Amino acid sequence: MEKGKGLARRWAVELPDASSSSPAVPDPPGFTRSAPDADDAAGARQRKDSEAAWKAQKAWEVAQAPFKNLMMMGFMMWMAGSTVHLFSIGITFSALWQPLNALRSVGKVFEPFKDPRVDTIAPKLLFIALNLAAMGLGIWKLNTLGLLPTNPSDWVSSLAPAREVEYAGGGLPLI
Amino acid sequence: MSSDVLTLSSGGTILRAWNLPDGLMIWETNLRTSTASNSQLHVMSNNKAARDNLVLVSAGRWIYAVSSIDGAISWEKEFSLDDLEIKRILQSPENDVVYALGLAGSSKLALYHLSAKTGEILKDIQESFPGGLCGKTVLGSDNVFVALDKARSSLLLIEFKGERISYNKVLVSDLVQDLSGSFELQSLSSDIISLQTSSSISLLKLKGTDGLEVLQRFDQPAAVSDSLPITEKEKAFAVVQHLGSEIEFIVKFTSDLSSEIIREKVNIDQNKGNVERVFLNSYIRTDKSHGFRALVVMEDHSLLLIQQGEVVWSRDDGLASIVDVTTSELPVEKDGVSVAGVEHNLFEWLKGHMLKLKGTLMLANADEVAAIQALRLKSSEKNKMTRDHNGFRKLLVVLTKAGKVMTLHTGDGRVIWSKLLPSLRASRFGGVPSALRIYQWQVPHHSVMRENPSVLVVGRTGAESSAPGVFSILDSYSGEELNSMKLDHSVFQIIPLTLKDSSEQRLYLILDSNSNAHLYPKSADTLNIFLHEMSNLYFYSVDIQANVIKGYSLQKSCDLNFGDDYCFSTKELWSIIFPSDSERIVISETRNMNEVVHTQAKTIGDHDVMYKYLSKNLVFVATLSPKAAGDIGSVLPEEASLVAYLIDAVTGRILHRVTHHGAQGPVHAVLSENWVVYHYFNLRAHRFEMAVIEIYDQSRADNKDVMKLILGKHNLSAPITSYARPEVAVKSQSYFFTHSVKAMAVTQTAKGITSKQLLIGTIGDQVLALDKRYLDPRRSVNPTQQEKEEGIIPLTDSLPIIPQSFVTHSHQVEALRGIVSIPAKLESTTLVFTYGVDLFYTQLAPSRTYDSLTDEFSYALLLITIAVLVAAIIVTWIWSEKKELGDKWR
């Protein structure tokens, strides 16, 4: 992928050189520049267009990939149940971790499809949205497991008893 | 008949015959006697060798004649004289007449001649004595009776055989010169009487009714045994007297008092006090002569067996009468310091190792195996004399009834030190000091770490509650008495305060019978601390006789002695008077002062919160209707009721009151955190019942906004005052319980996180650990899913008794009286000490040991696993390196 990209770029870089040199050296007689040039340019454009389309398509595909993931995660979570044990905790944390990882590397994922003619913003947004949805699912799962401090009990359960001002001792007299 | 033993028990109401060889009970007879009377047993000896002998039981005005074959009552006789108490039963040589000698009131002596066959009164003689009799009598000889007159100054020699009673008076001061205090009479043989005073013993010879003659005198504190028949005519008795640090054991025959059979000196521990009682026993030596051994009861209630000039064995039976228990930490382990005389010399060390080597090579014989076991035990981790990380090793400091303080190691229960407190030593004939309580006096922590902890023993110089108090402060490690003081006021109540002074000494408030409070320790520092807190200190007293609970506040300067800065007067603030015709106070319980509560909130299944009403001033009081205080079965359910109160001791406010109809005592209760559990008898259901009341604080219930809680905008940490109007919600429930209860306690842990267990001392002298979860008022028949998740057990009508939850296992703690739970440093674990006649100690983990690995955990396996994993990582890493290198070369 990397190498191919480099070659394509070298091509693109040498072209303007050729065009700039063309006025200096006259064309040989009987050589009509326009026809093959146009032909060639048309082919290249066509190729480029198809490549861009392919890139865009791929980008969309990549952007939609988390959806499948999402569905699978949902299924796994449903399978895991709502009690806290090793399996459900593992699933929940992977459900939280995967989207987080994906979000961190969102630039990297869409780098191959970087092209001035390809609009990667929309796929990127979709990708982010889907991953956020996956993360939301994970958090929701965490909540259903009761691991989120959303209840007053989570905040007061470790609160020490308040100090008492008065103290009264005594009781039955000693016998 | 010779192999039978007769016992009279239960206050003289049950007479039983036992077969001596195998302990079978042959028969049992119930006698109707008034329990207050002093009952006596007399077996008629029958010369005619008939099997049927009569057993005579006298109690108060009654005489019963019981057949020794089957226990049938042959006859019974009630004498008509008022206040008569039969003192002695004698028989005529012909066995057909029974003489019953009794005292009526304090001055009248009555003699009855009864027919042995029918119990008919053959003759009735009465005689009045002008000086009166004090009730203590002793039989001089066959027909002379020696009694003490009321003034305790003279002896009456009363001859009673014949037609009338004649007597002669002998002044005691004629016999014993330096007579001080009271004295005791004891008959040794038909004409020898011993007269014991607090400082001496005199042996007196009776010369008919003519008088008494002093034969011998022992001037040291001493004790004399009963006489023991050796041959047909000879009787032996023992005198044990103190000679400095030794005791002297003397055996004499009653026929010849001038000669001594045995005179031995025995070295004994000075901490055992004086000799209290001596019991003589004889054996036949190989040369057919009589040898003697004696069981000696010492002042601290310990037993010694003396034989051939040495103590054969001794037992600390004072431990059977523990009054109070406290604990002390062991010293911190220091390098190079061996604690409490655990001495090691090289030879011992080598010997020990040789023994162990033999043990491993299986060359040791039985004795050596035992020695190895003993060594192992001695050096075992749990028996060390130093503080351990988990706080399992502690010293149990116990105060016994005899006024002795003993320290037991929790590892193996050995006595580390014991000290008979001089201030609580009873002179045998004087006032009876009583040991009351033992407390921690100084528990050194951070700043005064180098000092030893000390304990405070509080006692009284007399039996009555107005007797002046005694303080004794002992070093917890050595038992040395650091300070002892006689207080100039009585000890009515002891209030340990939560305050400490700069040297970590705890402050105590002693209330005397005049309702004045005295502060201890007396120093300017403590006074400052106390005065600073005084306005917030209150006390309450529960008066069972007057049926009243009163609350007091403290005021500066007491009215008694103005110069005393440490004396404070009290002012009555409130009183709760119970109607005496319908309610009588039976029990008052409060929270353990040292209890630690982890949290004020209780989380319930739906993540909601309930705030516990946690107050140290909460008092549980139970009253019974006057009729219900008696025995079970003595009252109809309609007439019996129990009322349970929860009272705030500062303001006297009754927070909750609940009535149980048809309930009867005895009531036992335990209060902890925000709940109280009490045990009583349900007359309607004919079963014991346990009820639980949980009390919640409603004034804090609206602290439910998570955001406010996160930001700390709540009133949950604000100090609580009892004067704020409490809004409480109460939940309660009751359950049937199978056992009758002797004592109840609750487990205490270091931080109060671990769930609680109730420790119930059952009538079978066992301790049952019952999860508090079973006594949860939120239990219902069909708990919801959430409640099930929370761990609520479906409601059943009775509490389950799981055999495995008896913490005493198969042991019985004979005559169980108290259960103490002491927190260990490890949160999951609590130390439980149970005392009665037996002592029992164990460790409990109410929620299992969640914070430590069990003893069975294989550390070796863990280490091996780790080593194998590390090796595997290294090997695979080398492999991968090699492979990578190979790939690169390719």
Lowest-pLDDT choice from A122-136, B166-180, B220-234, B350-364: B166-180
In a domain, B75, yes or no: yes
Q: What is the DSSP letter of B369?
A: H
B617 and chain A in contact, CB less than 8 A: yes
Lowest-pLDDT choice from A137-146, B316-325, B657-666, B872-881: A137-146
Interface probe, candidates B434, B490, B603, B645, chain A, greatest A C-beta count within 10 A: B603
What is the C-alpha to C-alpha distance for residues B859 and B851, in angstroms, rounded to an integer?
16
| Confidence class for position B871, pLDDT limits 50, 70, 90 | very high
What is the C-alpha to C-alpha distance for residues B417 and B407, in angstroms, rounded to an integer?
6
In sequence order, the β-bridge partners of residue B407 are B397, B417
- Judged against a pLDDT cut of 70, whether residue B636 lies above it is answered with yes
- Chain A's closest residue to B540, CA to CA, is A170
Q: What is the pLDDT of residue B343?
A: 47
**B607–A173 CB contact, under 8 Å:** no
Q: Look at B560 and A94; give whichever has higher pLDDT.
A: A94
What is the C-alpha to C-alpha distance for residues B730 and B697, in angstroms, rounded to an integer?
9
Q: What is the pLDDT of residue B87?
A: 77
User: Residue B815 in contact with residue B765, Cβ under 8 Å?
Assistant: yes
- Judged against a pLDDT cut of 80, whether residue B147 lies above it is answered with no
The residue segments making up the domain with residue B94 are 1-128
Q: The tokens 């965490």 sit on which residue?
A: A142
| pLDDT average, residue stretch B568-574 | 90
What is the C-alpha to C-alpha distance for residues B75 and B84, in angstroms, rounded to an integer?
19
B543 and chain A in contact, CB less than 8 A: yes
Strand A167-171 to strand B537-543: parallel, antiparallel, or no bridges (unpaired)? parallel
| pLDDT average, residue stretch B817-841 | 92
DSSP string, B825-882: SSTT-EEEEEESSSEEEEEE-TT--TTS--TT--HHHHHHHHHHHHHHHHHHHHHHHH
Select the residue of A157, A159, A166 nearest B536 (Cβ to Cβ).
A166
Select the residue of B465, B495, B588 nearest A169 (Cβ to Cβ).
B495
User: Residue B552 in contact with residue B571, Cβ under 8 Å?
Assistant: yes
Give CA separation, B87 vs B77, B84, B90, B136, B139, in Å: 15, 9, 10, 9, 10
Interface probe, candidates B536, B547, B707, chain A, greatest A C-beta count within 10 A: B536
B484-490 contacts, C-beta under 8 A, 24 or more apart:
B484/B421, B484/B422, B484/B423, B486/B423, B486/B461, B487/B518, B489/B514, B489/B516, B489/B518, B490/B460, B490/B465, B490/B466
How many helices (H) does chain B have, and how many strands (E)?
Answer: 7, 58
**A158–B615 CB contact, under 8 Å:** no
Q: What is the pLDDT of residue B34?
A: 64
Strand B62-67 to strand B54-59: parallel, antiparallel, or no bridges (unpaired)? antiparallel
pLDDT more than 90, % of chain B: 26
The residue type found at B209 is T
Select the residue of B536, B601, B703 nearest A157 (Cβ to Cβ).
B601
Token pair of B432 as six digits: 């009876």
Cα B468–chain centre separation: 23
A166 and chain B in contact, CB less than 8 A: yes
Token pair of B16 as six digits: 């039983």
B741 and chain A in contact, CB less than 8 A: no
**A171–B536 CB contact, under 8 Å:** no
pLDDT more than 70, % of chain B: 92
Select the residue of B538, B598, B600 nearest A168 (Cβ to Cβ).
B538
Residues 694-723 of B with CB under 8 A from A: 703-706, 709-710, 714, 716-723
| pLDDT average, residue stretch B807-815 | 91
B401 and chain A in contact, CB less than 8 A: no
Chain B contact set for A81 (CB, 8 A): none
Chain A contact set for B536 (CB, 8 A): 165-167
User: Residue B750 in contact with residue B824, Cβ under 8 Å?
Assistant: yes
Helix, strand, coil share (%) of chain B residues, nearest 5: 15, 45, 40
Measuring CA to CA, which residue among B396, B398, B401 is closest to residue B321? B401
Q: Final residue of a domain: which of B128, B159, B177?
A: B128
**B705–A152 CB contact, under 8 Å:** yes
Chain B contact set for A157 (CB, 8 A): 599, 601, 603, 609
- Judged against a pLDDT cut of 60, whether residue A13 lies above it is answered with no
Say how many CB pairs under 8 Å bridge A and B: 143
pLDDT digits (tens, 9 = 90+) for A66-100: 888 888 888 888 888 778 888 888 888 888 888 88
Q: What is the pLDDT of residue B238?
A: 87
Within 10 Å of residue B731's Cβ, how many Cβ atoms?
Answer: 14
Coil/strand/helix, residue B226: coil
In a domain, B279, yes or no: no
| Confidence class for position A1, pLDDT limits 50, 70, 90 | very low
- Chain A's closest residue to B723, CA to CA, is A166
Chain B contact set for A175 (CB, 8 A): 465
Helix, strand, coil share (%) of chain A residues, nearest 5: 70, 5, 25
Chain A contact set for B650 (CB, 8 A): 166, 168
Give CA separation, B68 vs B46, B86, B174, B633, B883, in Å: 12, 21, 45, 33, 102
Lowest-pLDDT choice from A170-174, B580-584, B629-633: B629-633
Lowest-pLDDT choice from B235-244, B541-550, B612-621, B735-744: B235-244
Within 10 Å of residue B222's Cβ, how many Cβ atoms?
Answer: 22
What is the C-alpha to C-alpha distance for residues B700 and B703, in angstroms, rounded to an integer?
6
Chain B contact set for A151 (CB, 8 A): 607-609, 706
**B709–A155 CB contact, under 8 Å:** yes
What is the C-alpha to C-alpha distance for residues B551 and B574, in angstroms, rounded to an integer?
5
Within 10 Å of residue B105's Cβ, how many Cβ atoms?
Answer: 14
Residues 450-489 of B with CB under 8 A from A: 465
User: Residue B622 in contact with residue B586, Cβ under 8 Å?
Assistant: yes
Q: Look at B727 and A16; give whichever has higher pLDDT.
A: B727
- Contacting residues for B16 by C-beta, under 8 A, at least 6 apart: B6, B7, B8, B9, B25, B27, B28, B29
Distance, first Cα to last Cα, chain A = 96
In sequence order, the β-bridge partners of residue B247 are B242, B266
Residues 134-163 of A with CB under 8 A from B: 146, 149-163
Average pLDDT score over chain B = 84
pLDDT digits (tens, 9 = 90+) for B495-537: 998 888 888 888 999 988 888 888 988 888 888 888 888 889 9
B751 and chain A in contact, CB less than 8 A: no
Chain B contact set for A162 (CB, 8 A): 600, 614, 716-720
Most confident of A51-60, B728-737, B842-851: B728-737
- Judged against a pLDDT cut of 60, whether residue A35 lies above it is answered with no
- Judged against a pLDDT cut of 80, whether residue B690 lies above it is answered with yes
| pLDDT average, residue stretch B115-129 | 81
Interface probe, candidates A150, A155, A157, A175, chain B, greatest B C-beta count within 10 A: A155
Measuring CA to CA, which residue among B750, B756, B640 is closest to residue B692? B756
| pLDDT average, residue stretch B828-835 | 93
Chain B contact set for A169 (CB, 8 A): 495-497, 509, 537-540, 593
Q: Final residue of a domain: which of B128, B163, B195?
A: B128
| Confidence class for position B341, pLDDT limits 50, 70, 90 | very low
A1 and chain B in contact, CB less than 8 A: no
What ranges make up the beta strands (E) of chain A?
167-171
Token pair of B112 as six digits: 């009855």
- Judged against a pLDDT cut of 90, whether residue B379 lies above it is answered with no
- Judged against a pLDDT cut of 90, whether residue B675 lies above it is answered with yes
**B493–A158 CB contact, under 8 Å:** no
In a domain, B694, yes or no: no
Into how many domains does chain B fold? 2
- Contacting residues for B12 by C-beta, under 8 A, at least 6 apart: B31, B33, B35, B37, B38, B39, B57, B59
**A164–B722 CB contact, under 8 Å:** yes
Domain extent listing, chain A: 55-147
- Judged against a pLDDT cut of 70, whether residue B334 lies above it is answered with no
Most confident of A68-77, A142-151, B85-94, B447-456: A68-77
B492 and chain A in contact, CB less than 8 A: yes
Instruction: Tell me the nearest-neighbour CA distance from B106 into chain A, angstroms.
Output: 30
Q: Final residue of a domain: which of B128, B158, B173?
A: B128
In a domain, B538, yes or no: no
CATH number of the domain at B9, please.
Answer: 2.40.128.630
Chain A contact set for B491 (CB, 8 A): 174
A81 and chain B in contact, CB less than 8 A: no
pLDDT digits (tens, 9 = 90+) for B475-495: 988 888 888 888 888 888 899
